Amino acid sequence: MAKDFIVTPWEVKGEVDYDKLVEQFGTSIISDDLINKIKKHTGKLHYMLRRKIFFSHRDLDILMKEYEQGKKFALYTGRGPSGHTHMGHLIPWIFTKWLQDAFDIPLYFQMTDDEKFLCKPKLTQEETKKFSYENALDLIALGFNPKKTFIIIDTEYSKTLYNIAIQVAKKVTASNAKAVFGFTNETNIGMYFWPAVQAAPCFLPSILSGEKIRTLIPAAIDQDPYWRIARDVAPKLGYPKTAAIHCTFLPALTGPKGKMSTSEGMQSTIFTTDDEKTVRNKIMKYAFSGGKDTLKEHRKHGGNPDIDISYRWLRFLEDNDKKLKKIYDDYKSGKLLSGELKQILVDKLNNFLKKHREKKEKAKKQLDKFILKD
Amino acid sequence: MAKDFIVTPWEVKGEVDYDKLVEQFGTSIISDDLINKIKKHTGKLHYMLRRKIFFSHRDLDILMKEYEQGKKFALYTGRGPSGHTHMGHLIPWIFTKWLQDAFDIPLYFQMTDDEKFLCKPKLTQEETKKFSYENALDLIALGFNPKKTFIIIDTEYSKTLYNIAIQVAKKVTASNAKAVFGFTNETNIGMYFWPAVQAAPCFLPSILSGEKIRTLIPAAIDQDPYWRIARDVAPKLGYPKTAAIHCTFLPALTGPKGKMSTSEGMQSTIFTTDDEKTVRNKIMKYAFSGGKDTLKEHRKHGGNPDIDISYRWLRFLEDNDKKLKKIYDDYKSGKLLSGELKQILVDKLNNFLKKHREKKEKAKKQLDKFILKD
């Protein structure tokens, strides 16, 4: 059986078997029962839940039970600001925005500029801070509620974070950190401490409010190990364990294996800063195709949408189920050609990015409302 | 030869052979040449330099050379606020105050409430913070210049400290920290990071001023390992290496071995909070005596001031050389009895502590002027 995939917070390799991954990580598949419970409260379901792009969780069932008993919860997610934002980052943020609106709850968003500075030998503190602010504009552009969204730039909120982090750190040995994060004796001491800094926002809603508020982390499943330490420590500090909801990976343009990542090369990703021509060129040139070798064969036997990256990206981006199904069927039947399918994606992306750029421009004036200060 | 002593930042055991310790630590004895150079600038010498209570250094010769070339330097020392201040803490502070006045330079004083919270299983953050403020009053009571003295309470200055500490931490591996501090895999991750937090004030005068300002750390010699990491990292970050001046240990009342420490039991120490009666009782009851067993023998053969704790304490406290020599000679000749010698120390301490208590009371109003805020 396919055991030839690797998923850690730092690398995703091979074609991921998500069922096996859930078993490996010890998370739970989101059951139909749980989905229905969510639907009961939100009225309708986000397409990422309908399509099981968000497919796995930890303690989401407990969180929903508490919610039905009248207990509030808060969202927490984040970003490592080591470069420009790409579409792979936006996927969980788009879903997070839906959760915020559907449940009318606060979001704490951590920009881990300290971690990126510590783990990337060549990045300076100035660079990671600059990317924090730039990435924040991408977040704000998605329409988050300025009254309920709190962006934490680690190095600028470090008084509060450090005071919480030392509480966490006191309960975590170097052995724990090595086991969860694969640290070695050659890892720098900033990285050793850093899991405590990342755990801090899990408890921030409780600390700031004085009530016990559970946090829910929407993120791609590779990020799950990061919060295992936070979950272990939570009861020792008297806070609720952080819950999580996990999504699959937006694949790299170049093929269905692994996830889209800047470190895989510029051609595997679409950045929010890419202009229309760049988007078109990248999709046309690099997007892995499920089409047949010749037009004749494609018309006769049809393409394979399941391995076609343009289709797979549309699954993450097109909220209209009917439209998506028609694309799937037409491609499979050979009615839709690979170039045409690519064009659908190009248009979808360029429409989205055009509006996104405008919203980012407006977001510059709103930035101050979102950044949490000590 | 006596290798049966141990000196680390956490324990001092046995009768310390300071020459051997200097060799072991790789520090340098303060030469007569260097002492004369200091005297040239300060006019007179503090008794702790005359008596070689401050006896060892790192790069003090370089610092004095730079000073003669017109370069300024700053003082940095600190305290782990895990309890009340005792006389052993005051010794280097008294000398530090003299250095501040003699050279008219700033002092950065770090209250390491985070470290004490992290390394003492039973201490809470509230307790270490409370002791920080209480210990700060003891410092201020010694008469430090409010315009040039900056007290850093780690958890309250953690924004600035964290931003410097991650620069340090990026250059220090877990291996380095294990080698210098003896950390194990069971040590918590807060302690692993903490050497970077302690290094931060070494560079603070340079960072705050934008100039390259060397720091000089006056401290008991057991604290030396703490700054080895800061010295290693300094050139990598473009800062001058921290210099140090080290003192011997004020011995425990109960005997000349080890150093005075709260963890050795209340009877081994005099706290600044001890009242007159307590001071008298402790000295009379516990202060190890160099006297003979009987009055007759003492009068005939004399006592041994070199092992007598009351005398050894007076060496640290009595600035008048003649007075001290007379005590020494009289005790050695048998003219001065053990009870009388103890009474001299009791009076010396109670006089000092009476004024100290009054100054501490006044210091409460000055506290705000001294505490550095982000």
Q: Where is the domain boundary, A204, A219, A248?
A: A248
Q: Do A190 and B169 touch (CB under 8 A)?
A: yes
| Residue A271 sits in the same domain as residue A165 | no
Residues B240 and B274 in one domain: no
Give the count of beta carbons closer than 10 Å to the beta carbon of residue A29.
Answer: 15
Residue B14, pLDDT score: 84
Arithmetic mean of pLDDT, A26-42:
96
A242 and A284 fall within a common domain: no
What is the average pLDDT value for chain B, to the nearest integer? 95
Q: Could you tell me if residue B103 is inside a domain?
A: yes
Amino acid identity, position B79: R
pLDDT of residue A10: 75
Statement: residue B2 has pLDDT above 70: no
Q: Examine the fold and report which residue of B248, B278, B297 is the final residue of a domain before the chain moves on.
A: B248
The verdict on a CB contact (< 8 Å) between A114 and B192 is: no
How big is chain A, counted in residues?
374
Which residue of chain A is at minimal alpha-carbon distance from B190?
A169
Q: Mind listing the pLDDT tens digit for each residue in A77-132?
A: 999 999 999 999 999 999 999 999 999 999 999 999 999 999 999 999 999 999 99
Residue A312 pLDDT: 96
Residue A1 has pLDDT above 90, yes or no: no
Mutation pick from A166, A176, A183, A207 vs chain B, by most beta carbons of B within 10 Å, is A166
**Residue A315: predicted pLDDT:** 97
**pLDDT score at A30:** 98
Residues B42-51: pLDDT tens digits? Answer: 999 999 999 9
In angstroms, the CA B5 to CA A370 distance is 57
Q: Is residue B135 part of a domain?
A: yes
For chain A, what percent of residues have pLDDT higher than 70? 97
CA-nearest residue of chain B to A195? B189
List CB contacts (< 8 A) between B187 and chain A: 173-174
| Contact residues for B58 (Cβ-Cβ < 8 A; gap 6+) | B27, B28, B224, B231, B242, B243, B244
CA angle A93, A97, A101 (to 5 degrees): 165
Residues B282 and B191 in one domain: no
Same domain assignment for residues A167 and A302? no
Are A268 and A243 within one domain? no
A178 contacts on B by Cβ (under 8 Å): 185
Rounded Cα distance between B90 and B81, Å, is 13
Q: What pLDDT is recorded for position A2?
A: 45
Q: Is the residue at A371 inside a domain?
A: no
B124 CB near a chain A CB, below 8 Å?
A: no
Nearest to A283 by CA among A253, A315, A260, A316: A253
Higher pLDDT, B244 or A260: B244
Confidence class for position A257, pLDDT limits 50, 70, 90 = confident
Digit-coded pLDDT (tens) for B58-108? 999 999 999 999 999 999 999 999 999 999 999 999 999 999 999 999 999
What CATH number has the domain bearing residue A268?
1.10.240.10
Would you say B230 and B242 are in contact if contact means Cβ atoms under 8 Å apart?
yes
If asked whether residues A127 and A50 sit together in one domain, one would say: yes
Residue A14 has pLDDT above 90, yes or no: no
Q: Least CA distance to A124: which residue of chain B?
A: B167
CA distance B286 to B268: 7
Q: Check: CB of residue B29 under 8 Å from CB of residue B55.
A: yes
A104 with A129, same domain: the answer is: yes
Question: Could you tell me if A205 and A170 lie in one domain?
Answer: yes
The total number of structural domains in chain A stands at 2
A contacts of B175 (beta carbons < 8 Å): 185-186
Contact B155 A166 (CB under 8 A): yes
Q: What is the 3-state secondary structure (H, E, C) of B262-321?
A: HHHCHHHCCECCCCHHHHHHHHHHHCCCCCCCCHHHHHHHCCCCCCCHHHHHHHHHCCCH
A374 domain residue, yes or no: no
Is A195 in CB contact (< 8 Å) with chain B? Answer: yes
**Average of per-residue pLDDT across B240-252:** 96
Query: What is the distance in angstroms between the Cα of A236 and the nearest Cα belonging to chain B?
Result: 13
More confident residue, B5 or A202: A202
What CATH number does the domain containing B19 carry? 3.40.50.620
Mean per-residue pLDDT, A29-33: 97
Minimal-distance CA residue of chain B relative to A373: B159
Same domain, A131 and A73: yes
B257 falls within a domain = no
Query: What average pLDDT does the structure give for chain A?
Result: 95
Binary contact (B125, A167; C-beta < 8 A)? yes
Nearest CB to B166; choose among A117, A165, A185: A117
Within a domain: B6: no
What was the pLDDT predicted at B266? 73
- Assigned token pair, A311: 């289709």
Q: Tell me, yes or no, if A156 comes closer than 8 A to chain B by beta carbon.
A: yes
Separation in Å, CA of A327 to nearest CA in chain B = 50
Q: Mean pLDDT throughout B121-145?
A: 97
CB-based contact B143:B137 (threshold 8 Å)? no
**Could you report the per-residue pLDDT of A287-329, keeping only the tens digit for each?**
999 999 999 999 999 999 999 999 999 999 999 999 999 999 9
Least confident of A198-212, B82-96, B251-265: B251-265
Minimum distance, in Å, between the CA of residue B177 and any CA atom of chain A: 8
Res. B1: pLDDT tops 60: no
CB A27 within 8 A of CB A224: yes
Give the pair of three-digit tokens for residue B186: 């069971």
pLDDT score at A261: 63
Which residue in chain B is spatially nearest to A183 when comparing CA positions?
B174
User: Given B165, B186, B193, which is nearest A192 (Cβ)?
Assistant: B193
Task: Examine the fold and report which residue of A188, A221, A248 is the final residue of a domain before the chain moves on.
Answer: A248
Are B157 and B291 within one domain?
no
Q: Assess if residue B255 is contained within a domain.
A: no
Contact at 8 Å (CB) between A84 and A271? yes
Q: Quote the domain boundaries for residue A79.
A: 6-248
How far is the C-alpha of A18 from the C-alpha of A24, rounded, in Å?
9
Chain A nearest-CA residue for B167 = A118
Are both B98 and B149 inside the same structural domain?
A: yes
Q: How far apart are CA B74 and CA B179, in angstroms?
A: 28
Region B156-171 average pLDDT: 98
Alpha-carbon distance A157 to nearest alpha carbon in chain B (angstroms):
7
Residue B372 in any domain: the answer is no
